[in-house]
Amino acid sequence: MGEMVELKKELLRDVDLAERLLGRERPVKSEIEIRGKITRSTIEEISRIKKEPEWMKRLRLRSLELFYKLPTPKWLVGIDVIDLDEMIVYSKPETERASSWEELPKEIREFYERLGLPEIEARFLSGLSAVFDSETVYARVKKYLEEKGVIVMPIEEAVQKYPDLVKRYFMRVFPPSDHKFAALHGALWSGGTFIYVPRGVKIREPIESFFLIGKSGEGQFEHSLIVADEGAYVEWIEGCSAPRLTKFSFHDGMVEAYAHRNATIKIITVQNWSKDVINLNNKRAIAEEGARVDWVEGSIGSKMTFVYPSTILKGDNSSSRSAVVTIAKGPYLKDSGSKMIHVGRNTRSQVINKTISADGGINVYRGIIRIVKGARNAVANVECESLILDDKSKAHTYPHNQVDEPTASVNHEATTGRLTEPQLFYLTSRGLTEEEAKSLIVLGFLEDVLKELPFEYANVLTKVVRLEFSEYGAFG
């Protein structure tokens, strides 16, 4: 515990949390490593290593064909810094999957200890899995989940044990034909979590999956699939990080969620990749009648991030809320935006997007609201707020609303603000220093989203924000 306190003190003296937490890249032995041009034989080899059924191998091969046929999306700028022909596309660490932290090799365990995951798991999680490079290296769930019939396991294991259940949803919510890099994901996916919550079961303690990239020039293609059956409830946390790398690595992950009738799924992401990671995370959910899907996204790290949590409101009276915070401080790009597709009647959606740009950082909001004909009485509300801290930084908003149903209601509000003299004067006149006043404004701007996070993660995100903006104010 004393070590954690010292670490926290150390963090407050630094400005790059991911690097300070995990240090620089260091050697971790791989049992298997595949790199080079991505061909049919590459895909067949990955499928053979995982001992997959024929249907999964065929899905991978179809995805590869699509990858080579589809054009690069115009919104995916800067991706060319990744040399796909030289990238490590699969890396299996030289260790077996562990169910206790002591079983992991020291060089891997240290990463997770520095992130505080063993403590967080013990305090409030009902299950935790950790993916290192391309494979799950740690997985454990509390016994009561098994007693309730909840399935939580690495997705490769689920493909083996529950093939019909996985096949029913896998890449059917987010098909590989959606865009070129969804197809690449479909061809190369490895690692990730499968969660199935049976009818009527409500899990009050969250389940977490943590993804860590340990190598330069590596691609990580983790895939997580969360299914809540009728009336079920589940909360899943996704964490991401990496040490300082010597060249860019690429994260092309995917999250699919399916909320059956009257079910609720809440998905929380705290993304803190180091500045050497290009981050693309494909996220989509389907909500049936009366179901609800909530997204909360805190995107802090990475060189570039492209993330658009999306919900298809398929059933009548279904609803969804997406709250996204992105921070671009320095020569970094955050391209985000939520997408809500209203199909059922009386559907409701709410989007809250908050961005902070500083030191030349660029934030882009690229959201979609679509209401199809027949989605009677659908209501969608979008709030986009940008805070720009200096003249070098930028924020752009590109909303797209397509409403084909005359009874629907769509509201969109967008504001861009800067730190102003009247704001500073008001706060400093009440005894705060200018630095404390600036700090308070930044955190106050994020309050709506921070309060939706579990306490432990709100605390982490607050600390990261303080570190990122320490030169603008003396936090803590």
> Which has the closest alpha carbon to 102: 113, 94, 91?
113
The verdict on residue 244 lying in a domain is: yes
Residue by residue, pLDDT tens for the chain (476 residues) are 344 344 344 433 434 566 667 778 878 888 999 999 999 999 999 999 999 999 999 999 999 999 999 999 988 888 888 899 999 999 999 999 999 999 999 999 999 998 888 988 988 899 999 999 999 999 999 999 999 999 999 999 999 999 999 999 999 999 999 999 999 999 999 999 999 999 999 998 999 999 999 989 999 999 999 999 999 999 999 999 999 888 899 999 999 999 999 999 999 998 889 889 999 999 999 999 999 999 999 888 889 999 999 999 999 999 999 999 898 888 999 999 999 999 999 999 999 999 988 889 999 999 999 999 999 999 999 999 999 888 889 999 999 999 999 999 999 888 888 877 777 788 788 887 766 776 677 778 888 777 777 676 777 667 666 666 654 443 33
The verdict on residue 388 lying in a domain is: no
CA 71 to chain centre: 24
Tokens, residue 397: 């908003």
The verdict on residue 159 lying in a domain is: yes
Tokens, residue 135: 């494979």
**Domain endpoint, select from 288, 307, 326:** 307
For residue range 456-465, what is the model confidence (pLDDT) as tens digits? 677 766 766 6
The verdict on residue 322 lying in a domain is: no
Residue type, 449: V
Tokens, residue 435: 């630095």
The verdict on residue 384 lying in a domain is: no
Asked if 428 and 303 sit in the same domain, the reply is no
Query: What domain range includes position 71?
Result: 1-307
**Domain endpoint, select from 307, 333, 366:** 307
Asked if 292 and 430 sit in the same domain, the reply is no
The verdict on residue 395 lying in a domain is: no
**Domain endpoint, select from 242, 275, 307:** 307
The verdict on residue 254 lying in a domain is: yes
Is the separation of the CB atoms in 43 and 61 below 8 Å?
Answer: yes
For residue range 5-14, what is the model confidence (pLDDT) as tens digits? 443 444 334 3
The verdict on residue 25 lying in a domain is: yes
Q: State phi, psi for 315 to the nearest 5 degrees.
A: -95, 155
- Per the structure, the count of domains in the chain is 2
The CA-atom distances, in angstroms, between 259 and each of 154, 226, 270 are 20, 8, 22
Full-model pTM: 0.90
